[in-house]
Amino acid sequence: MSRVAIVTGGTRGIGAAISIALKDAGYKVAASYAGNDEKANAFKAETGISVHKWDVADYQACVDGIAGIEAELGPVEVLVNNAGITRDAMFHKMTPENWKDVIDTNLTGLFNMTHPVWPGMRERGFGRVINISSINGQKGQMGQANYSASKAGDLGLTKTLAQEGAAKGITVNAICPGYIGTEMVRAVPEKVLNERIIPQIPVGRLGEPEEIARCVVFLASDDAGFITGSTISANGGQFVV
């Protein structure tokens, strides 16, 4: 029987590629999204993947959203915490709102989504939680104090949950994408992207969303049962851990 997977932020960018790759691998996929109805409806029409609107920064919305998906598709066995935002600014220009929005979505969002599915995974003795962190959580990044802190926090959460889940058949891993050719990266000023960032990528190009999606499919599979608490760096050699 095919497993149920939720992908947060699963209708655009890296998340859309993950939703599609999991569907192609035989999962029943539900993609959540926060606000862009137009993109979400187009994604649903194109792929047949169900889309569900809620804000991962809102705990009760996550509880309710997950309950709705479970009623429709069955218990969630694979959770991909992909939803993330940027509010880039040099630290001296960063506002408390810039800080809070990013931490609430990128870090607290992982708590809000994982906490409601965790008891069921423990009871059933199986679960896969895959957290999409970032190269910038590993190395830091000018202009991203909020984002880098949130993504580094995701790695700490991953390592702790891996230890807590192991005896119950739950694996928890992180992927740290480098600069992938999505809207989020294209929003970086062109001069900074071309002159400061791409020259730092030894493979000489941005990554493709599908290159991250393939890592997710592997981590979700039974073949990856001995891998937990790990971080896959997929960054074209930009940062070697």
Q: Point out the residues that are catalytic.
A: 147
Which tokens sit at 89?
């600014």
Q: Which of 11, 86 has the CB closer to ligand CAA? A: 86
Question: In this structure, are residues 233 and 177 in contact, taking their beta carbons and an 8 Å threshold?
Answer: no
- Closest approach, Cβ 78 to ligand CAA, in A, equals 22
Q: How far is the CB of 186 from ligand CAA (least distance, A)?
A: 9
- Strand order across the beta sheet in which 50-53 lies: 50-53, 28-33, 4-7, 76-81, 127-132, 170-177, 231-234
The residue at minimum Cβ distance from ligand CAA is 143
Closest CA to 184 of 29, 21, 36, 31: 36
| Calpha distance 136→142 (Å, rounded) | 9
The residue (of 131 and 136) whose beta carbon lies closer to ligand CAA is 136
CB closer to ligand CAA, 121 vs 157: 157
Strands 4-7 vs 127-132: parallel, antiparallel or unpaired: unpaired
Of the candidates 36, 31, 39, the one whose C-alpha atom is nearest the C-alpha of residue 213 is: 31
Give the pair of three-digit tokens for residue 17.
């590629």
Nearer to ligand CAA, 90 or 166 (CB): 90
The two three-digit tokens of residue 71, written as one number = 């009623």
Residues that bind ligand CAA (CB under 6 A): 86, 88-90, 93, 134-136, 141-144, 147, 177, 179, 184-185, 188-189, 192, 196-197
- In the complex with ligand CAA, which residue's Cβ is closer, 66 or 131? 131
The pair phi, psi for residue 90, each rounded to 5°, is: -60, 145
Q: Are 41 and 92 in contact (CB under 8 A)?
A: no
Min dist CB 84 to ligand CAA, Å, is: 7
Give the three-state DSSP class for 228. Answer: coil
